[in-house]
Amino acid sequence: MGPNKEMSSTINTLLEIMDDPNLFTRRRVEAAEAILGFEAPEGAVVRARDFLVSVFEDRDAEIGDRMEALKLSRKAEAPKVASKIIRLEVKGRTEADRREAWRRYEMSRLKMKIVRATGTTPLAESGWADAFGDDYLPPEGDEWPDWSKRS
């Protein structure tokens, strides 16, 4: 697959390394990790996750490569519980933190509504989250979202 003009040269190079069957699997897994470890275009994230699945499901692959692919896949699909708790206990939260919390909360609520209505997870390319871009404004006041009321 050739370079994608919508992605940075860094992402394209990492995808090239990840997709090269002539390289050691460990290096290819490292490229996938570099994609998943930072913000990246949805297409690159999907390709990296699919690659990791192909590695950990390959029963003929080395167990070290399979385990590393499993760990990275798990890490990408669900953040650690402890880190969420730590973030909630941080003092001196800023208005930017409040805005981001509300943005994530409302995105989560909308995504859950879409999943319940359609039975599938919405794709980023479909534009479902466009209302939560850089110009998103949280509700007026100083309240923070109550994550126990996401339904």
pLDDT digits (tens, 9 = 90+) for 51-90: 999 999 999 999 999 999 998 888 877 655 544 444 444 4
Q: Write out pLDDT tens, residues 102-150.
A: 888 888 888 888 888 888 888 877 787 887 887 888 888 888 888 776 5
Same structural domain for residues 72 and 27?
A: yes
- E-strand ranges in 8-72 read none
Asked, for residue 69, whether it belongs to a domain, the answer is yes
- Total domains in the chain come to 2
Q: Is the domain of 18 the same as that of 62?
A: yes
Question: Is the residue at 87 inside a domain?
Answer: no
Residue (of 128, 124, 129) closest to 6 by Cα position: 124
Crossing angle of helices 63-77 and 42-57, in 10° steps, is 140
Q: What is the mean predicted confidence (pLDDT) over 93-108?
A: 86
Q: Which residues contact 123 (CB under 8 A, 6 or more apart)?
A: 42
Residue 143 within a domain: yes
Top-confidence residue, 30 or 86 = 30
In terms of residue numbers, what domain contains 144? 92-149
Structure pTM?
0.50
Cα gap 45→36, rounded to integer Å: 6
Task: Using the 3D structure, point to which of 77, 105, 136 is the last residue of a domain.
Answer: 77
Q: What is the pLDDT of residue 80?
A: 54
For the stretch 89-92, contacts whose Cβ atoms lie closer than 8 Å and that sit 24 or more positions apart, written own/partner, are: none
Is-contact 15 44, C-beta < 8 A? yes
